[in-house]
Amino acid sequence: MSSLSVTIIQTRLHWENKQANLHMLEEKISAIKEKTEVVVLPEMFNTGFSMRPEELAETMDGDTVQWMKRIASEKKIILTGSIIISEKNNTDYYNRLIWMLPNGEYGVYDKRHLFAYAGEDKHYSAGHKRFIASVKGWKVNLQVCYDLRFPVWARQSFPTNNGSEPEYDLLVYVANWPERRSHAWKTLLQARAIENQCYVVGVNRVGNDGNDIYHSGDSMVIDPMGEALYHKKDEEDVFTIVLNKSTLQSIREKLPFLKDADDFLLLNKD
């Protein structure tokens, strides 16, 4: 059974300052001493959670995607996190997670659930498709921040009667989740792990943003039983953990709860 090394970067972000954020993150990535295969950055890692896409959006040929390609290639890692992307002649904007491979190929996931409480739905377009990546035999479901509150969007989906494997093994959330709702963040990360019998990695930022909203981080790694393998509050941290596929398989075999799950079909409400 394969293992997967994942590095979490919990950090402060320079408000709407791309150059400063990319320089800071490159220094943190370069300082990683452990062997790692996947490095996870927070939501909107080059700007902070901004509602000014008209000024800050880039195309998929822009500087930040090129930076991700260079870092992934030089460090021989998969690099992931979300940024503001423009499409259709700069009239549509997306909070887009990018899964960048060392060879320059990539996959994308556009945030499905836009945070209307902060007006995200007024500035961004919602995504419509889940994105599940593959690495070393692991299947990784990639989601963004507010998606965490909607369990159906993360629910394992697979035929229950023909012995098929669950849809994914690891669920990743990148976030700018405020401290004032940190209890929900921590509780829901554990719930997603338990109900889907998977590992969960949640990576959040720390510090105040440009709206003076404080973020406590509380980045976590949760095992398939809902136990926290890692949790860091308030402080910046770069942490590498090895996830074991054998542990996951053992839990699923001993506690085969997923086979009793309800069948369902996700419909596009748009």
Residue 265 has what pLDDT? Answer: 78
Q: Give the whole-angstrom CA distance, residue 80 versus residue 193.
A: 20
Residue 164 has what pLDDT? Answer: 72
Residue 161 has what pLDDT? Answer: 47
Question: pTM of this prediction?
Answer: 0.96
The domain locations on the chain are 3-260
Tell me which residue has tokens 């930022």: 205
Instruction: Choose among 80, 85, 81: nearest CA to 37.
Output: 80
End-to-end CA distance of the chain: 40
Identify the active-site residue in 37, 58, 120, 145.
145
Is 111 among the residues known to form the active site?
Answer: yes
Q: pLDDT tens for residues 179-197?
A: 999 999 999 999 999 999 9
Is 74 among the residues known to form the active site?
Answer: no
Residue 269 has what pLDDT? Answer: 64
Q: What number of CA atoms fall less than 13 Å from residue 14's CA on the CB side?
A: 10
Residue 263 has what pLDDT? Answer: 81
Is 75 among the residues known to form the active site?
Answer: no
Residue 158 has what pLDDT? Answer: 62
Identify the active-site residue in 37, 43, 58, 120.
43
pLDDT < 70 regions, the chain: 1, 158-163, 269-270
Residue 83 has what pLDDT? Answer: 98
Residue 170 has what pLDDT? Answer: 98
Q: pLDDT tens for residues 57-84?
A: 999 999 999 999 999 999 999 999 999 9
Q: pLDDT tens for residues 208-221?
A: 999 999 999 999 99
Tell me which residue has tokens 């709407």: 16
Contact 80, 203 (CB under 8 A): no
In the structure encoding, which two tokens stand for residue 121, read together? 């739905």
The C-alpha angle with vertex 110 and arms to 45 and 198, in degrees rounded to 5, equals: 85
Identify the active-site residue in 18, 58, 69, 111.
111
Q: In this structure, which topology does domain 3-260 adopt according to CATH? A: Nitrilase/N-carbamoyl-D-aminoacid amidohydrolase (3.60.110)
